[in-house]
Amino acid sequence: MSKVILVTGAGRGLGTDIVREALAAGHQVVATGRRPDEVEKSLGGPQDNLLVTKLDVTSLEDAEAAVQAAVDRFGRIDVLINNAGNFFAGYFEEITPAQMRRQIETNLFGPMNVTRAVLPVLPVLREQRAGHVITLSSSAGIIGQEFCVAYAASKFGVEGWMESLRYDVEPYGIHTTVVEPGFFRTELLVDGSTIWPEPTIDDYAERTTATVAAWKSMNGQQPGDPAKLARALLAIADQDKPLLRFVAGADAIEGVQAKAQELLAQAEASRELGGDLGYDDTGA
């Protein structure tokens, strides 16, 4: 069945693939980005089932305007795909407080802004008693990694928000899915999406230089195919009971399984000290 799908970050990488696959499948698509002319160009120009509109996800006003444009054009929204994001790489001591805030502003408050516009401010989905919010997290939202402290912080936040949002909106027939991809060729590691650190602390300088070189060499060599991921997301959007959490890619599945085992082991190891911390009935 044809749906109206709003996609953030549609001008490059996975966002472009999602829009192309959605259009090919017969859906009506609202493709958003900070530079709508570039978004439209990347998608091959104007199309009957395509609306391109400006959206900087850090702006709630932009989000509200994009949602209103979608409703004006197509009459409703069925699926929101929060895809926009960026990556501030580096070790914690070399990431400035301003950079950390910018990372979380884009990757966590950004999808919150768009979802806030779609749900309570302009309650398109809630009035329909239907709909689906899909938000791209990362395997780094489950597994902390070296050189990813800012990015992981933002994505761990996405995980908690989306896992809890489910309980808020599920009574209204609105589904939620948080997506945890591994390494895909999504342009995340290109200079336009990644902010690389400059070595400023001697203790980290050698590691920073080596890690930046290693990550840059990985770009274009990641094992995941973003077009296949886009098709998988559309398949989830078409499910009657969509996955609450979609772990995408063999590398991510392996990593999440290992993290789950580690958490179970840590919980068991905490039992002796942490298992009996309640009040003593004697009042002692």
Tell me whether strands 194-195 and 132-136 are parallel, antiparallel or unpaired. unpaired
Q: Report the distance separating Cα 174 and Cα 39, nearest Å.
A: 28
Q: Report the distance separating Cα 94 and Cα 208, nearest Å.
A: 10
Residues 55 and 34: beta-carbon distance below 8 Å: yes
Phi and psi at residue 275, to the nearest 5°: -80, -15
β-partners of residue 247 are: 180
Which residues make Cβ contacts (< 8 Å) with residue 140, sequence separation at least 6? 148, 151, 152, 155
Q: Which one of the listed residues 151, 167, 172, 204 is annotated catalytic? A: 151
Q: Report the distance separating Cα 35 and Cα 22, nearest Å.
A: 21
* Residue 105 CB burial class (10 angstroms; 0-12, 13-18, ≥19): middle
Q: Report the distance separating Cα 224 and Cα 241, nearest Å.
A: 25
Among residues 14, 241, 222, the alpha carbon closest in space to that of 135 is found at 14
Is residue 151 part of the annotated active site? The answer reads: yes
* Residue 118 CB burial class (10 angstroms; 0-12, 13-18, ≥19): buried
Residues 191 and 210: beta-carbon distance below 8 Å: no
Enzyme catalytic residues: 151
